[in-house]
Chain A
Amino acid sequence: DARVTQTPRHKVTEMGQEVTMRCQPILGHNTVFWYRQTMMQGLELLAYFRNRAPLDDSGMPKDRFSAEMPDATLATLKIQPSEPRDSAVYFCASGTGATDTQYFGPGTRLTVL
């Protein structure tokens, strides 16, 4: 049963610290999405990649957030420095591009104190 995996599942950190979240897309999927979920804003698209190239990162605060795909099996989302307002659940999703279905991982719950 192929699944998107995300690590860590939970992260508590202090304001100003660097946070790195990792995602392993389903093998063979060439599209990767990063979302942030909060009660107030719902699911917000931060960035997405096709064949490891960024297609759109307009939803991401550029001064502190960065997203990369070092290889086809790993996507990373980094926050530096982190702030309390970054506290949220961050989801990674992957897809094939041949269909419109996105497969979501279990999420990383980030708490910035």
Chain B
Amino acid sequence: GENVEQHPSTLSVQEGDSAVIKCTYSDSASNYFPWYKQELGKGPQLIIDIRSNVGEKKDQRIAVTLNKTAKHFSLHITETQPEDSAVYFCAASLSGGYQKVTFGIGTKLQVIP
């Protein structure tokens, strides 16, 4: 089955700096890579995703990159704000809506004002 490794497990940055979270996956058949943000006391929420036919995707201050050859993908947050503080999960699956999604262990991001 798929295995997703994520690092770092914790990350502290100063407000305004950038944050980068990296993930690797094991199953070369995986073609869908979502990122979820979990705020304290809430369920995870999708913030951005990327499919294997795209190398990079951007949405305002967040961007994801994908290297299929190396089987790794990353989340980049620029100009971090205190409200970015949360736990971020990467995940991998086959696309199709009914597929099993494998999550990374999570990265706790703290943005220091």
In the complex, per-residue mask of A87-113: 1 if CB is within 8 Å of any chain B CB, else 0: 000010101111111101111000000
> Is B61 engaged at the interface, CB distance under 8 Å to the other chain?
no
Across the interface, do B46 and A101 meet the contact criterion of CB distance under 8 Å? yes
Closest A-chain residue to B91, C-beta based?
A43
Interface flag for A31 (CB, 8 Å): yes
Q: What chain B residues lie within 8 Å of A97 (beta carbons)?
A: 96-98
Q: How far is the CB of A41 from chain B (nearest CB, A)?
A: 8
Q: Which residue of A lies closest to B45 (CB)?
A: A104
Bound-state CA distance A102–B42 (Å) is 14
The A-contacting residues of B in range 90-104, CB under 8 angstroms, are 93, 95-104
| Bound Cα distance A42, B44 (Å) | 12
Question: Chain A residues near B96 (CB, 8 Å)?
Answer: 97, 100
- What is the CB-to-nearest-CB distance from A51 to chain B, in angstroms, rounded to a whole number? 9
Interface residues on A, range: 20 to 34
A106 to B45, CA, bound (A): 10
* A15 close to chain B: CB less than 8 A: no
A-B interface contact total, Cβ < 8 Å: 53
Q: What residues of B have a CB within 8 angstroms of the CB of A106 in the complex?
A: 41-43
A45 at the interface (CB under 8 A from B): yes
Which chain A residue has the least Cβ–Cβ distance from B1? Answer: A58
A78 contacts chain B at the CB level, 8 A cutoff: no
Query: Do B98 and A43 have beta carbons less than 8 Å apart?
Result: no
Bound CA–CA A31/B101 (angstroms):
13
- Whether A100 contacts B34 in the complex (CB less than 8 A), given A42-B105, A48-B100, comes out as yes
Q: Report the separation of the CA atoms of residues A101 and B102 in the bound assembly, to the nearest whole angstrom.
A: 13
Residue contact A45 to B34, C-beta cutoff 8 Å: no
**Contact, CB under 8 Å: A45 / B100:** yes
- Say whether, besides A48-B100, A100-B93, A43 and B43 are in contact (CB < 8 Å): no
Question: CB within 8 Å of A: which residues of B?
Answer: 32, 34, 36, 41-46, 49, 89, 93, 95-106
